[in-house]
């Protein structure tokens, strides 16, 4: 009786854990659907999703532990009810290879011992498994021949290696490059992992391969740069990157310029261009965009100001500022969740900032409805729906600003917006302009994550190398191409590829046998 009661209690606990996990899962799905339908309502929503993901992980793990404990207790308790099994999962992808393992059939009936067994069918249990990475040495044999007529000795040419007398195959090189610049794994960690697998590749050896690959892929970087700078509109932004200098680190910069015409239905493929510099001087964006003439979507950084000068040799670049940057200043004063966590040090929520966030979010909702439509259609919707709201918002801001003191905290984000009002409202006159500069911020996300892994760039040249490789990898991702597979194929073919046809190796022209599988996955 005690065992039966204990088993029943564990079964009930398993049921409760399973129910709690299911509720958390459904809540997370509902919140994700709301976010997909209505967009990100605030930074608080993004934090809430992260918190719900962690909570669901813990509940799922606890439910599994409780279910196993209940099954173990019920195994020796006759007549006890078994806990409900979880719902069946979705089948594994059809493109995965199947290895059939047949369990030998019994030679006699386990009940009566008769050998007269007749096959009725079979049950198949599928288990997802991974094959550990395997290394191999490819021996390329080049036979020599002698001509019996003229005694000339001929031999096929040696296979191409990126480095002179190289030994690394293109797939290995692509993996090293993608791990370092795409997954932010420094070469010393890669070397340690290779050593555990029985392959001795020192950091200096790997660094030689990285440098040689960067030089070999430089022509593609030039083609991507030309494509980006030929765009009608660019997203621009920068982020910090520590650079080693004489026993300390200096705060360098990684700049990005993203061409993405998909929001206004443009036919040209997206691409991202990265540069590195040791400081944030305005001379850097001037040099980067010396060949560009069009619209630049960026923040209000003063280093861009010379680009907007009509006396510029290629003409003034049109400035379009980011509403997400303007919204953040108000949101910091209206973040109810963050204010609640401050406890006694909490400040009073600004009703003006709260209302400003609400008005800006209405503009974002309109933009989500016209994303991907042609520029002309976007412009018509903006003039009919967004323009009246923007005019009303300006009047509302100026009215409240006239009644605020200079020391008011909410005066700063209002001034940030009103002082640059023409650049913020330029989206009402051009359907190609986006409301935010999020395309550039997404492109820089890898460097923001990578700083925690590789800590700093070893030199200014190293930062430039990272920027060049990020150009290739991020551009491949923007075109829904597997960067590692693309790099492996390009490194195999680029040496013998005719220079006039190098554009065929760019990500938006490249296709491989694995592309359909990657899209299906």
What would the mean pLDDT of 36-48 be, rounded to a whole number?
Answer: 52
Tell me whether strands 233-245 and 295-298 are parallel, antiparallel or unpaired: parallel
Pairing of strands 295-298, 318-321: parallel
> In terms of Cα–Cα distance, which of 481, 478, 476 is closest to 514?
481
User: Each residue of 306-316: pLDDT tens digit?
Assistant: 999 888 888 89
Share of the chain above pLDDT 70, in %: 78
Q: How far apart are CA 43 and CA 444, in angstroms?
A: 18
Interhelix angle 460-478/203-216, rounded to 10 degrees, is 60
Longest dimension (CA), the chain: 102
Label residue 185 by pLDDT band (50, 70, 90). confident
- Residues near 347 by beta carbon (within 8 Å), at least 6 away in sequence: 333, 339
pLDDT recorded at residue 486: 93
The pLDDT value given to residue 328: 87
**pLDDT exceeds cutoff 90 at 492:** no
Q: Could you tell me how far CA 60 lies from the centroid of its own chain?
A: 26
Predicted local confidence at residue 447, as pLDDT: 83
Lowest mean pLDDT among 85-99, 232-246, 292-306: 85-99
Range with the lowest mean pLDDT among 248-252, 296-300, 477-481, 503-507? Answer: 248-252
Calculate mean pLDDT across residues 85-98. Answer: 72
Q: Is the pLDDT score of 203 beyond 90?
A: no
Which of 100-114, 386-400, 406-420, 496-510: highest mean pLDDT? 386-400
Nearest by Cα to 494 from 485, 484, 505 = 505
The CB density around residue 440, as the number of other CB atoms within 10 Å, is 24
């Amino acid at each position: 009786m005690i065992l039966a009661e204990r088993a029943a209690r564990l079964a009930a606990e398993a049921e409760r854990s399973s129910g709690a996990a299911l509720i958390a899962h459904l809540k997370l799905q509902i919140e994700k659907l709301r976010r997909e339908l209505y967009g990100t309502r605030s930074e608080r929503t993004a934090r809430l999703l992260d918190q719900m993901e962690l909570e669901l992980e813990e509940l799922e793990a606890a439910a599994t532990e409780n279910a196993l404990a209940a099954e173990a207790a019920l195994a020796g308790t006759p007549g006890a009810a078994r806990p409900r099994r979880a719902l069946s999962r979705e089948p594994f992808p059809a493109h995965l290879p199947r290895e059939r393992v047949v369990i030998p059939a019994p030679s006699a009936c386990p009940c009566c011992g008769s050998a007269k067994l007749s096959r009725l069918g079979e049950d198949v249990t599928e288990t997802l498994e991974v094959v550990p990475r395997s290394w191999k040495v490819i021996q390329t044999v080049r036979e020599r021949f002698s001509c019996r007529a003229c005694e000339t000795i001929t031999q096929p040419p040696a296979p191409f290696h990126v480095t002179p007398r190289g030994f690394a195959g293109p797939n290995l090189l692509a993996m090293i490059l993608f791990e370092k610049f795409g997954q932010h794994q420094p070469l010393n960690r890669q070397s340690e992992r290779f050593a555990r697998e029985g392959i001795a590749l020192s950091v200096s050896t790997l660094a030689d391969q990285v440098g040689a690959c960067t030089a070999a892929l430089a022509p593609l970087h030039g083609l991507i740069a030309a494509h980006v700078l030929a765009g009608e509109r660019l997203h621009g932004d920068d982020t910090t990157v520590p650079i080693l200098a004489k026993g300390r680190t200096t705060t360098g910069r990684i700049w990005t310029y993203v061409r993405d015409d998909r929001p206004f239905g443009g036919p040209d493929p997206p691409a991202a261009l990265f540069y590195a510099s040791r400081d944030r001087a305005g001379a850097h964006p001037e040099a980067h965009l010396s060949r560009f003439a069009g619209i630049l979507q960026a923040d209000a950084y003063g280093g861009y100001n010379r680009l907007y000068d009509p006396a510029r040799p290629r003409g003034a670049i049109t400035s379009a500022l980011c509403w997400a940057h303007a919204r953040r200043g108000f949101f910091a004063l209206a973040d109810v969740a963050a204010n609640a966590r401050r406890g006694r040090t909490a400040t009073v929520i600004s009703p003006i900032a709260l209302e400003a966030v609400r008005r800006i979010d209405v503009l974002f909702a309109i933009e989500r409805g016209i994303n991907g439509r042609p520029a002309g259609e976007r412009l018509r919707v903006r003039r009919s729906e967004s323009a009246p709201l923007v005019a009303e918002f300006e009047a509302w801001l100026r009215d409240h600003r006239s009644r605020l003191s200079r020391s008011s905290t909410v005066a700063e984000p209002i001034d940030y917006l009103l002082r640059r009002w023409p650049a913020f409202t330029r989206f009402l006159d051009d359907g190609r302009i986006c409301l935010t500069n999020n395309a550039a911020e997404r492109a820089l996300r890898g460097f923001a994550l990578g700083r925690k892994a590789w800590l700093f760039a070893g030199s200014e040249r190293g930062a430039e190398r990272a920027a060049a490789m990020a150009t290739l990898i991020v551009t491949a991702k923007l075109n829904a191409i597997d960067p590692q597979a693309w790099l492996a194929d390009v490194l195999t073919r680029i040496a013998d590829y005719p220079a006039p046809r190098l554009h065929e190796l760019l990500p938006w022209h490249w296709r491989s046998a694995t592309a359909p599988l990657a899209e299906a996955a």
